[in-house]
A and B are shown apart, each in its own frame.
Chain A
């Protein structure tokens, strides 16, 4: 019977590889491009999570996910800089205590750099605690795996941010075109600055899914007791990075403002 079953199954394995559902044994031959990474972030988290279980793919995916995150945050930074400057020129509104990012001097790139570098640097700062939490929960992972998952969450947030950006731009344009008052200007600027955190929820959910999926590396006896613990630790890590990110972004933006001011006075 067993020979018959094998004979029935074996020939099919050669041609039954659907592109939508590649079996694990063939995944090692799949080429990954940055565009396909974006597509997987949006449509097929499970497949991306599967790739992130393979160390060879982790090495390939880390720079690509980083590129997606950087591109997303850079697009966001340019758009928000343009909007808050348009509000400043049109209505003379600049949020109090907001460091400069004026488009007519050297500080023009401060917001973009502050968010792009700050968001990813904050992730790097929180990375060791994320690794530690994983080990504490008992999952079998490496530092590279944890890094890949963290950057995947960041990239997913960046993709969501780019998706939300047109809606934000459309709403903000109303306050530039129509005189809707200072309250609406304030709302637009605050929402612009908070948008990466709103989009970050998508990234956090993505990260949560991927990392909780690693619970199957625990032994069966540990899984029932520790999976819940793992969930709480991931939530704690997301909470921790939510506090760290604004501090890093603001510090960096403020530092860049001082730097550009000093450089401007020298020039």
Chain B
């Protein structure tokens, strides 16, 4: 088969793809439709992925009316990311190297923040679902015959343990949420320090140090996000201070439960 025959087949496939493109995207303005049709005949290999992903793209981008509103955590993370972007972009002409070194870790930090927020939402979802089925450890199961004491005792213990586990899960949720908020506050503090350092004529090494501290926050977030849920030994009703171990000594924050 020579080049002529290949081109004929190529253009035939192109026409078929152009028709498909018209059916999917064709009800827009004339110039755009014309351009799409012409280029999809000539460059159909580029339009094929576009056609194949059409359905999924529509599923991914739902109608604005049905879009869920971002919750408080998402808003807080977005705000902190905005401030962080602003601070990092202000490094241009002063300490670009600082950003170049920590770009990957700052990207990881964003993902870690989002992951931790998702984890909290998951716990919220789980807790809201389990609390709908009220747990009463003192309640007795309904049986037709006379209750067997051993089985009843086991049942009550299991119920009690379940209630305790859920209570601990709620504590873990509160702790994770507090950690996330502390990290966000810490990033904001460092961002303000970057602005301050820039306008007080601090050396570029100071910016590098601050950016490195922001990037280091990812370790704290990741550690919280991936740690095993250890049993809580302290009494949540007492006001126990918890130190954030990843923070530098001079700015270490104290969170009271």
Contacts and interface: CB of A to CB of B under 8 A. Distances in A.
B76 A18 contact: no
B81 A28 contact: no
B81 A24 contact: yes
A216 B60 contact: no
Given A5-B181, A21-B82, A255-B3, A124 B43 contact: yes
Nearest to A12: B79
Nearest to A6: B72
B53 A55 contact: yes
Interface string B64-98: 00000010111110111110011001000000000
Contacts of B126: none
A232 interface: no
Given A63-B39, A151-B46, A10 B53 contact: no
A124 B10 CA distance: 12
A13 B42 contact: no
B54 interface: yes
Chain B CB within 10 A, most for which of A2, A117, A121: A2
B256 interface: yes
Contacts of A6: 72-73, 75-76, 181
A144 to B, nearest CB: 4
A12 B78 CA distance: 10
Given A16-B82, A55-B61, A143 B178 contact: no
B43 to A, nearest CB: 6
Interface string A215-255: 11000100100000000000000000000000000010001
A140 to B, nearest CB: 12
B82 A144 contact: no
Given A1-B255, A124-B43, A67 B82 contact: no
A56 B181 contact: no
Contacts of B50: 59, 62, 144, 147
Contacts of A176: none
A23 interface: yes
B49 A147 contact: yes
Nearest to A128: B45
Interface residues of A, number: 45
B57 A66 contact: no
Contacts of B46: 62, 66, 120, 123-124, 127, 147, 151
Interface string B102-133: 00100110010000000000000000000000
Interface centre among A5, A18, A24, A147 (most CB of B within 10 A): A5
Interface in B31-60: 32, 35-36, 39, 42-43, 45-47, 49-50, 52-54, 56-57, 60
Contact of A63 (B7, B36, B57, B78): B36
A187 interface: no
B221 interface: no
B175 to A, nearest CB: 11
Contacts of A16: 79, 82
Nearest to B178: A2
Contacts of B7: 255
A146 to B, nearest CB: 8
- Judged by DSSP, the binding face of B is helix
A217 to B, nearest CB: 9
B53 A59 contact: yes
Interface string A51-80: 000011011001100110010000000000
Given A62-B46, A66-B46, A127-B45, A142 B53 contact: yes
A147 B89 CA distance: 29
Interface string B218-243: 00001000000000000000000000
Contacts of A2: 177-178, 181
A220 B61 CA distance: 28
Contacts of B89: 20-21
Contact of A9 (B80, B177, B178, B256): B80
A266 interface: no
A143 B79 contact: no
A147 B43 CA distance: 12
A180 interface: no
A175 to B, nearest CB: 34
Nearest to A1: B255
Contacts of A24: 78, 81
Given A1-B255, A2-B177, A255-B7, 17 more contacts: A2-B181, A6-B181, A13-B76, A16-B79, A17-B82, A18-B82, A20-B89, A24-B81, A59-B54, A62-B46, A66-B43, A117-B42, A143-B53, A144-B50, A216-B107, A251-B3, A255-B3
14 contacts: A5-B181, A6-B73, A6-B76, A13-B78, A13-B82, A18-B86, A59-B50, A59-B53, A62-B46, A63-B39, A66-B39, A144-B50, A146-B49, A255-B7
What are the 3 A-B residue pairs with the smallest beta carbon separation, nearest first? Answer: A124-B45, A143-B49, A56-B61
